[in-house]
Amino acid sequence: MKILVFGKTGQVARELQRQADVTALDRSQADLSDPAACAAIVQHADADVIINAAAYTAVDQAEANEGLATTINAAAPTEMAKAAAARGLPFLHISTDYVFDGLGRAPRVPKEPTAPINAYGRSKLAGEQGVVASGGTYAILRTSWVFSAHGANFVKTMLRLGKERTAISIVDDQIGGPTPAEDIAATLLKMAEQLRPYNSGIYHYAGTPDVSWKDFAAEIFLQAGLPVEISGMPTSDYPTPAARPLNSRLDCTDMQNMFSIPQPDWRAGLNKVLQNLGEF
């Protein structure tokens, strides 16, 4: 199976390249701010499957750059999906829990109403809608709190702060499932093998168990052996340009039922990441 991946240096894209023989395109080869050019790449690609692992992910910056975020996160994947549909190629696309309103306590199921509370979420929802409307075989994978040994993420930030400070305050009223990029990549590859028109749709995939950012940080410090005192704080005490959802829990039952892919234990994934970073 020949797989073309949009994205090369992101967390999931790096894991896809590590786990499989894929053709990964960086920004110089596939500029998502030019949706027509991305469509042309799909039209002429020697590929059996297309995976879009590229996105505008600067959540706070998207508030001031919603037009660009929407081009990259919505217009580009829409045109890719249309081109893939025209060739009969399955198209897999990564999305986010930010398409929801972040309210309540129950894990969100894929069919629940969407209501993003920030520009990033709106741009990702528009991308989902474009992919669904493309008419081809597709899978949209909503995930949350992605981490790995690559790039910038919460785990690496906490490791840095844990070595600089003896005490730290972390938000404790946002709850979600941290998700290892390694597991997201493996899931995309499994889905690519099984994806057919009948099981096209939107699926959720996130790590278990659900925790707060504070509890996530506590496990990072515990596994890394960093003696940091942690205190909790409400989101309201840590204002950001973009509003953050308090409830990022995702119900992953459909993924298990359709593709036989269980939720990963993020604590085991964290252990691997720390080993890769040389923290042991």
Q: And the tokens for 106?
A: 């129950």
138: left (phi over 0), alpha (psi -120 to 50) or beta: beta
For 57-91, letters b (16+ CB in 10 Å) and e give bebebbbebbebbbbbbbbbbbbbbbbbbeeebbb
Which amino acid is it at 42?
V
And the tokens for 18? Answer: 């590590």
Taking each helix axis from N to C end, the angle separating 76-87 and 35-44, rounded to the nearest 10 degrees, works out to 20
Assign residue 102 a region: left if phi > 0, alpha if psi is -120 to 50, beta otherwise? left
To the query of whether residue 120 is one of the catalytic residues in this protein, the response is yes
Task: Determine which one of 56, 98, 120, 205 is catalytic.
Answer: 120
Catalytic residue positions, numbered: 120
